[in-house]
Chain A
Amino acid sequence: MSRSAGLSIPPEPGAASLTRAESIFVGRFEAMASPCEVLIDTDDSSLAGALLHVAEREARRVEAKFSRYRDGNIVHRINHSEGRPVSLDEETEALLGYAATCHRMSHGMFDITSGVLRRIWKFDGGDHVPSEAEVREVLRHVGWERIVYEDSTIRMPAGMEIDLGGIGKEYAVDRAAALIRARTEAAFLVNFGGDLFATGPCRGERPWRVGIDDPEHPGEAALYRIDMAAGALATSGDARRFVLRNGKRLGHILNPKTGWPVEDAPRSVTVLGQTCIEAGTLSTLAYLMGARAREFLEEQGAPFWIL
């Protein structure tokens, strides 16, 4: 329709959607293989649209940069370096630095080189379980301590891989939240695949109402409701990806020292942190502690919910 320039219509960013629920705008899109949401406590629809756009762009940027599945990005270059040094940009260096600190402080339980174990474990609800020999073989290529990391360069022995899947989403949440916070004073909540960060409270001193997914019925009902004004939440559990062995469910997070899934892990552990990456790291570590999850979190002093 040829008309005056006045009939301009904002573009639709990919498959994102913006709807209104009570007094907040809810923006949704898919990224990092997960449903992502941005909730904004405002009446301004164009502000909400702009912030949704910011969050989506940042989610896609972080995914493109740090996903194991993209050719040509920094993770790909590191994983195909065959022992040669790879120089790191500031952001990657900071993220790997954080992973290194977690590795040290958890005495090796948190290890981003444990991704190679996926080669022998397939968490599809079936009962295939690898042999001791297979696990031992793959464990030779696991261990952050084997990586040489100095002067903005990383050198990784051939056969090893880094996988930022364990902290990528949480990192993207923190980054998106920072970008949104720079643009508005409105309360908001960013939720990428179940890992979230919120500022607030909402107008009228109302907290955000966050449900903890019922591990027995994933995606269908909330088992518990957390009312929070601000903070970050991350949940670890085995609800969706597991292997059956002797009728027992073994969750999908592997102990990097044994190469085996954790036994007696809690069904679902949710941790409240100051940043999403902190909450995510704590919930993962708590999960890896198995029966000691509660004890571990009490020592850390972070609010948590184990279901």
Chain B
Amino acid sequence: MLLATGLPAVARADNGSSQLDASLLLYGEQGRAKVYEPTVRVTRLFPDGQSLSGQLGLDVITGATPSGALPSGVPPPVVPGGGDNVQTMTAASGGGGGGSSPPDSGAIPVTRFHDLRAALDLDWQKPFGLITPALGGHFSRERDYQSIGGNAKLSLSILHHLTTLTAGAGFNRDDVFPSGGTRLPLSDSTIIIGHAWNPKRVNSGMVGFSQILSRRWMVGVNGSLSVEDGYLTEPYKVVSLMDPSSGLTVGQITENRPTRRNRRDTLTSSVYHLTRDILYLSHRYYWDDWGVTSNTVDLKYRHELGETELGRDAYLQPHLRYYTQTPADFFTFGLVQGAPVPAVLSSDERLGPLRTATLGATLGFTAFGTPGEWSIRAEYIRQFGKGHPGNVVGVQRDFDLFPPVNIGSLVLAYSIPL
């Protein structure tokens, strides 16, 4: 998605200047994935106002989900007479003996997965009087996904710089190559139909309008649309099959999504300057042809603290955000075994009925004696969903199929002129 704003603000100087921005994002979903994302950006600002910036980012995604088993508490079996430990045990039935103890008797068995994503972004812009063109390029790669993209933007400042019009376009050429191969959709996930790369093309466009209404107040409206074409299915996601009478899960099939998606959104934002503080308010409305619609309301209040023990130019910025989403037309919590299988279907909760509420705050300051600016942003996100849909059977009625998820994130950032 293209943003209406451009590059980070850099102090102008006659000889040009450079700036380094480094940040570390720590993100964790309770009981689920954890992400560590360090990024580094270098920006060079030239005397004529031209700027060039490059950013390198890494995403380290890990999951260490306990399997529910408890530590055995007993040391691994040792065969009298020495030799290597056994790998597994045979035993009479009636309570176990199926496996050897884990190598470390105190360890909790977990499902581990990890993925590493590297991304490189380059951006350039140059003002020519009232017109400012900008270009950007993106490349990222991870174990099962590659993305190459470019975007171009043009800003026009009119009416004594009070109004800015922006138009932009972007394209992305992504490829999905799932681990283990591409699964046959709507089947048990053991059938692999190939190991080729599955392309996904995204073309997007945006227009934006921002207006300074008074010394204190600036508003903006953006609209964007994008068309996605190609492999849009989540390669590892499955839909559960339920027994028609008991509701117990008896199997699962791989999901399948349409090969095209038209997305639109509009973003309305307002920035209001009080005496020293700033109030940011925005609303985004999104809709697409998969049936997903969403509303986001975002509120930030930047409170200037001035000089504090931590440093000067300190500020505290609390943040509130509320997001609601209606599910995709083909979203389902599960399928009753024996019922006809639709051509497209998914149980991915990111396409389901979803609400999230975010509460967070950012603390920023410039440390004494250094030119660098620090900021720490902490956020708590709670994700809700409608966990008791009408179409489930049997025991599934008793389960909350969409339990709330607690998510926390922490961003540490440091900016310094070079």
Contact = CB atoms under 8 A, between A and B. Distances in A.
A5 B146 CA distance: 10
Interface residues of A, number: 77
Contacts of B33: 9
Given A5-B234, A193-B98, A215 B89 contact: no
B67 A234 contact: no
A71 B190 contact: no
B87 A239 contact: no
A15 B69 contact: yes
A221 interface: yes
Nearest to B32: A9
A219 B249 CA distance: 30
A239 B190 contact: no
Contacts of B97: 193-194, 213, 218-219, 235
Contacts of B117: 6-7
A61 B176 contact: no
A1 B91 contact: no
A73 to B, nearest CB: 9
A193 B246 CA distance: 26
Interface stretch (B126-134, B236-244, B313-321, B396-404): B236-244
Interface string B60-102: 0101010111000010011100011111111111111111101
A84 to B, nearest CB: 20
Interface string A23-42: 01010111000111101000
Given A24-B87, A209-B84, A11 B246 contact: no
B96 A28 contact: no
Contact of B92 (A24, A47, A191, A238): A238
Interface in B155-188: 174, 176, 179-180, 188
Interface string B214-249: 000000000000000000101111100001011011
A196 interface: yes
Give the interface SS of chain B, mostly helix, strand, loop or mixed: loop
A196 B99 CA distance: 10
A239 to B, nearest CB: 5
B92 A213 contact: yes
A234 B90 CA distance: 7
Contacts of B144: 6, 8
Contact of B174 (A4, A72, A221): A4
In this complex, the member of B94, B96, B237 whose beta carbon has the largest number of chain A beta carbons within 10 angstroms is B94
A28 B66 CA distance: 12
Contact of B246 (A28, A72, A220): A72
A205 to B, nearest CB: 15
Interface in A43-73: 46-47, 49-50, 53-54, 57, 60-61, 64, 70-72
B87 A11 contact: no
Interface stretch (B16-24, B107-115, B367-375): B107-115
13 contacts: A6-B147, A7-B142, A17-B67, A19-B102, A26-B99, A29-B67, A61-B250, A189-B88, A194-B93, A209-B85, A209-B87, A210-B88, A212-B89
Interface of B: 27, 33, 35, 59, 61, 63, 65, 67-69, 74, 77-79, 83-100, 102-103, 109-113, 115, 117, 140, 142, 144-147, 174, 176, 179-180, 188-190, 200, 232, 234-238, 243, 245-246, 248-252
Cβ-closest 7 pairs across A and B: A6-B145, A213-B91, A211-B86, A237-B92, A17-B67, A194-B91, A15-B68
Given A8-B237, A210-B87, 8 more contacts: A18-B112, A29-B67, A30-B69, A191-B89, A194-B91, A194-B97, A213-B91, A218-B96
